Structure 1
């Protein structure tokens, strides 16, 4: 009787195993794309610190529901405000470098996010370098087949150090 029951369950178990083995591959591919989009954001951020905002504009969605909560304070909502926020940041910190560490990526359908620690140095408008180590969350949405940033939030949080301030 046990053997018959196992034989009856075998097709269902095999189908379930196939479905489970295929799901992580699709998820892994999306996670790789969101990880790449995360790295593109930080490359674009560094370009902005050198005065070129075009790459930053390219990685962000330009829809009205985007937002930015920077470690410098304030809240920008909508693409125009987010872009103005980055223009202001470049004015306040004309130089430096930022890099993500310990990136964790999660995806589900057309949405994904990364959390990481941002570390680096920014040159303040007065001249001295400001070091920082802060936590960050980056949220992405797939738009026309590309992962676009729709939200960025950075703060000093529990990293034990202050983020750059205005």
Structure 2
């Protein structure tokens, strides 16, 4: 890719990351999916932990759960690093988010996120998303308790 093509791809991918994060925080899964298509072999490492998930589910149950859990807010995507080739791209971003999630009061929900994309049939598709809420540094003691599973609900 030329430098201009790299810049153009980065602008497009950043827009997709921004608009999809806004739609998701608003509980609009259809809006999210219209901006950010997923590859068939998509994997997710969600910010609340657990096993790696495979596939992207867009059914009525998931739409309703997303709509009722994510109730709006503000998002600003900050790109810290990017890697773009003809058919693969990676964005390392911080999603600065403040909003309403679940029954909790409005708060900061910022995430560190790695997004991996693959170009398929001329369109970027999300292949992998890894997110965590460790935007602010935590100490070894807190990390060790988290690793041992002692900080669960």
Q: TM-score, normalised by structure 1?
A: 0.67
Counterpart secondary structure, 1:157: coil
* Equivalent of residue 42 in structure 2, options 34, 45, 66: 66
The aligned residue for residue 132 of structure 2 is 155
C-alpha distance in structure 2 between counterparts of 1:114 and 1:86, whole Å: 26
- Offset of residue 62 of structure 1: 4.2
Q: Give the number of the structure whose residues are more often helix, by fraction.
A: 1
Aligned positions of 1:1-166 closer than 5 A: 26-58=2-34, 59-63=36-40, 65-74=41-50, 75-80=52-57, 88-157=65-134, 159-160=136-137
C-alpha distance in structure 1 between counterparts of 2:9 and 2:67, whole Å: 27
Q: Which runs of 5+ in 1 are unaligned?
A: 1-22
1:88–1:103 CA distance, 2 compared to 1 (3 A): farther
Which structure has the bigger radius of gyration?
Answer: 1
Q: Which runs of 5+ in 2 are unaligned?
A: 139-151
C-alpha distance in structure 2 between counterparts of 1:72 and 1:137, whole Å: 15
Counterpart secondary structure, 2:38: coil
Q: Give the number of the structure whose residues are more often strand, by fraction.
A: 2
**What is the root-mean-square deviation of aligned Cα atoms in Å?**
3.1
1:86–1:72 CA distance, 2 compared to 1 (3 A): farther
Counterpart secondary structure, 2:17: helix
Counterpart secondary structure, 2:71: coil
Q: TM-score, normalised by structure 2?
A: 0.71
